[in-house]
Chains A and B, each alone.
Chain A
Amino acid sequence: MRAFSLLAKIKKGRYVVTDPKHVSHKANSTPRFLRELLRLWRDASFRPLIMQGTVVLIIVMLAIWVISNTMHNLEHRGISTGFDFLSQEAGFGIIQSLVEYDESHSYGRTFVVGMLNTLLVSGLGIFFATILGFLVGIARLSSNWLLARLASVFIETFRNIPLLLQILFWYFSVLAALPHPRQSYALWDSIFLNLRGLFLHKPIIEQGLLPVMVSVLVAIGLTLLFRLKNRMRRLDTGKPIPGASLWMTALLLGIPAVVWGLSGATLTLDTPVLKGFNFRGGIAIIPELGALLLALTIYTAAFIAEVVRAGIESVQKGQKEAAASLGLKPGKVLSLVVIPQAMRVIIPPLTNQYLNLAKNSSLATAIGYPDLVSVFAGTTLNQTGQAVEVIAMTMAVYLTISLTVSLLMNTYNKRMALIER
């Protein structure tokens, strides 16, 4: 392009072709060191080094500037740096904690409490969103027109409304409209739903139940071992151990049952009882958790449904036809041919949705569910003023989760790529 236009300009007489002597004379007039620099700059193996060096230099200078500013500002405001504050007494209460916590515990403990609450709501959200998302995604492809329409209305509605709005809606409009504890909705006199939350029975683990718990773990381990053995045998001989699934059920249920019978432990339940203005005892699911969980589940399910639909649609029609012509029943076609191939497409974006859900759970702070951001980056930050440390720790938690999952994802993708042709 350039050469052509230059040639054209020369032809038009705009440029005069100078004789070589003149050119060399001009080049000699530039100082020697500048010429050397220019030569280095044009050296393909040297230029990247110069550029990278410059970038590193700029970043280091920027970092020094920022750090010195921060130090100066912190000193000026009388805020000490460092992580000593973590061992100080927190002095504030948290409405939901999975570990023992009260006002006398340290700020470090609030970090743990918040993190566990984040993990709790993320785990529950992922569980429910997966179920709902798969159901809606499959319904979206249903041959029933009405069902497919309904699923697509669900997806398009909840995908296009901000999650925060949905959380606020469930919390302030729906759950706040529930009756007071005295007029609770009750199911079989054991599950109560009211303004203060959902109250369930809580099984109490006594001393005698310990061997039972251990035996459950042992049973699971033995079942997995049996399954592996069965698989090996099937791969070797083409035939599984007869009655394998029966054996596995027997192992899984029989061992704990026998141990329970021998240990003679009894299971007691802690029932929620109305005392004064609220229920006491049992498991209480606070409305903050309920609203957050509802919103996260529905919002993420709408996205997962699209992922599932795309995955199932990505399996070629010929695959289904081939499987059917081999004589597989429709159920087997789905479970042996379509789903395994669809999963390869589904799993990477599905993991992304899980990560999004975990990150979105931080919106808890808007309704006061005590998650990591709300408790630690909220109350603790305000009380201590240690902005840099607190925000850094909070970000580190989310970053660790994200990076771990994407690392696992990359290995998974690599494995999948190897299986492909």
Chain B
Amino acid sequence: MMNHELKMIPAREPPVMAVGVLAWIRNNLFASTLSIVATLLIVYGLFLSIPPLVQWALVDATWFGADSNACNREGACWAFVTARLDQFIYGFYPAEHQWRPNLFFAQLAVLVLWLSLKWTPGKQWVLGYSLLLMPFVSWFLLYGDLPGLEKVETHQWGGLMLTLLLALCGMIASLPFGVLLALGRRSNMPVIRSLCTAYIELWRGVPLITVLFMASVMLPLFVPEEVVFDKLLRALIGIILFQSAYMAEVVRGGLQAIPKGQFEAFNSLGLSYWQGMIMIILPQAMRLVIPGVVNTFIALFKDTSLVLVIGLFDLLAIIQAGLNDPAWLGNSVEGYLFAGFVFWIFCYGMSKYSQRLEQQLHQGR
């Protein structure tokens, strides 16, 4: 008897060019003639630009020094940034009180971490604190004029501290106005609807810079002469007026996404308009608009740099002012790169966070 042994022939190795690194390189870098040309051009371009850039920014750079003369002219003069770092962060805030802005930064860091980490308890309380109390706590902490806290005038504020403060206060204060305006724009009452629409379209139609001009030039005319507004407060009012219109449109998007049945349901339960809005509609809508809110926050964060034109010293303005210092002439590239880097870190981080949130939202549906 023949013993037929049935045995699988071992599978042949796939062609080298079909799997693995080589295949990836072929499919993604050299797929067609055009692709080959593009790859070669880009590689050549990177080869030309990257090494000198690294040489300039890192190898030949001077990191510390007292003025421009201490710098190696071949490389970047980061000494400009390191020497003035205090000013870039705190503005003209008195040195002996700098623990106060530090506390403000620490508070922000804790709040942000608390709200973004998954396992931290009591998120609603922390969120409530951030939205309701935090701006006032921060203001009193920085402004002082309380027993035990010396007063620090707002014209001494500046740098990153001012940028963060303007963006945060502008954002948080515009949130309730935005919600009210959005509700008003979707209201059944024609007068209220048209007023809210007019307000939103008015502010969305003009550039922030004119709003800031208006706030700094016209606002003092609008109030009785005895009332004197701080320059910072005027800028903040302008930012809030402007921002609440954008916020309203974001919130309206969320409201529109709520199915009609939800409105009918709370009506048939006998809830009043405000009860229904606060307990049923807004909690759902606000969850939907978080990514949009983060995006408007990013836009506002970038836009706070415009306060430069009305003479406030935010991060960009204080660097711009530092460039004109005779001891540090000719360091504009370093200054702008540093400012750009700081802004970029914040904005990129937030945009990644908002993308993550968006994905989480879409997972549930």
> Which residues of A pack against B, CB within 8 Å?
1-3, 48, 51-52, 55-56, 59, 66, 69-70, 72-74, 76, 142-147, 150, 156-157, 159-166, 168-169, 172-173, 176, 359-360, 362-363, 365-366, 373, 377, 381, 387-388, 391, 394-395, 398-399, 401-403, 406
Contacts and interface: CB of A to CB of B under 8 A. Distances in A.
3 closest cross-chain pairs (CB), A and B: A402-B205, A160-B347, A145-B28
A388 B219 CA distance: 10
Interface string B193-236: 00100000110111111100110011011111100000000000
Contact of A144 (B35, B222, B333, B347): B35
B350 to A, nearest CB: 9
Interface in B305-347: 305-306, 308-309, 316, 320, 323, 332-333, 336, 339-340, 343-344, 347
B42 A150 contact: yes
Contacts of A161: 302, 340, 343-344, 347
A169 B336 contact: yes
Interface stretch (B9-17, B123-131, B145-153, B184-192): B184-192
A169 B334 CA distance: 10
B348 interface: yes
A312 to B, nearest CB: 18
Interface in B97-140: none
Which of the listed residues B201, B206, B224, B309 has the most CB atoms from chain A within 10 Å of its own CB?
Answer: B206
Given A51-B192, A59-B195, A165-B339, A359 B269 contact: no
Nearest to B222: A66
Given A73-B220, A362-B207, A143 B28 contact: yes
B252 to A, nearest CB: 15
Interface in B154-212: 188-192, 195, 201-202, 204-210
A306 to B, nearest CB: 11
Given A163-B302, A395-B214, 9 more contacts: A48-B188, A52-B190, A142-B38, A161-B302, A165-B316, A362-B209, A373-B207, A391-B213, A403-B201
Interface of B: 27-29, 31, 35, 38-39, 42-43, 188-192, 195, 201-202, 204-210, 213-214, 217-218, 220-225, 269-270, 298, 302-303, 305-306, 308-309, 316, 320, 323, 332-333, 336, 339-340, 343-344, 347-348, 351
A1 B190 CA distance: 32
Contact of B210 (A69, A146, A362): A362
A74 B221 contact: yes
Contacts of B225: 72-73, 76
Which of the listed residues A160, A168, A388 has the most CB atoms from chain B within 10 Å of its own CB?
Answer: A160
Contact of B351 (A160, A172, A388): A160
Nearest to A171: B332
B29 A165 contact: no
Which of the listed residues B309, B333, B343 has the most CB atoms from chain A within 10 Å of its own CB?
Answer: B309
A388 B214 CA distance: 8
B128 to A, nearest CB: 22
Contacts of B306: 164, 363
B195 A366 contact: no
Given A150-B42, A157-B344, A160-B347, A398 B205 contact: yes
Contact of A165 (B223, B270, B305): B305
25 contacts: A1-B269, A52-B189, A52-B190, A52-B192, A56-B191, A70-B222, A72-B224, A73-B221, A143-B27, A144-B29, A161-B302, A163-B302, A168-B320, A169-B332, A173-B336, A362-B209, A373-B209, A387-B218, A388-B218, A391-B213, A391-B217, A391-B218, A398-B207, A399-B202, A402-B201
Contact of A145 (B29, B213, B298): B29
B336 A359 contact: no
A162 B343 contact: yes
Contacts of B29: 144-146
Nearest to A405: B205
Contacts of A363: 209, 306
A240 to B, nearest CB: 31
B206 A147 contact: no
A146 to B, nearest CB: 5
A70 B221 contact: yes
Given A2-B270, A156-B348, A377 B210 contact: yes
A162 B316 contact: yes
Contacts of B344: 157, 160-161
B167 to A, nearest CB: 11
B189 A51 contact: yes
Nearest to A172: B332
Given A162-B302, A377-B210, A398-B210, A173 B332 contact: yes
A366 B201 contact: no
B221 A377 contact: no
Contact of A169 (B189, B309, B340): B340
Contacts of B202: 399
B343 A365 contact: no
A147 B332 CA distance: 31
Given A48-B189, A52-B191, A399-B206, A164 B305 contact: yes
A367 B210 CA distance: 16
A147 B270 contact: no
Contacts of A362: 207, 209-210
Contacts of A150: 42
A330 B84 CA distance: 57
A164 B316 contact: yes
Nearest to B45: A150
B278 to A, nearest CB: 13
A191 to B, nearest CB: 24
Contacts of B351: 159-160
A55 B191 contact: yes
A68 to B, nearest CB: 9
Contacts of B308: 164, 366
A262 to B, nearest CB: 46
Contacts of B35: 142-144, 147
A55 B209 CA distance: 29
B195 A365 contact: no
Contacts of A1: 269
B305 A146 contact: no
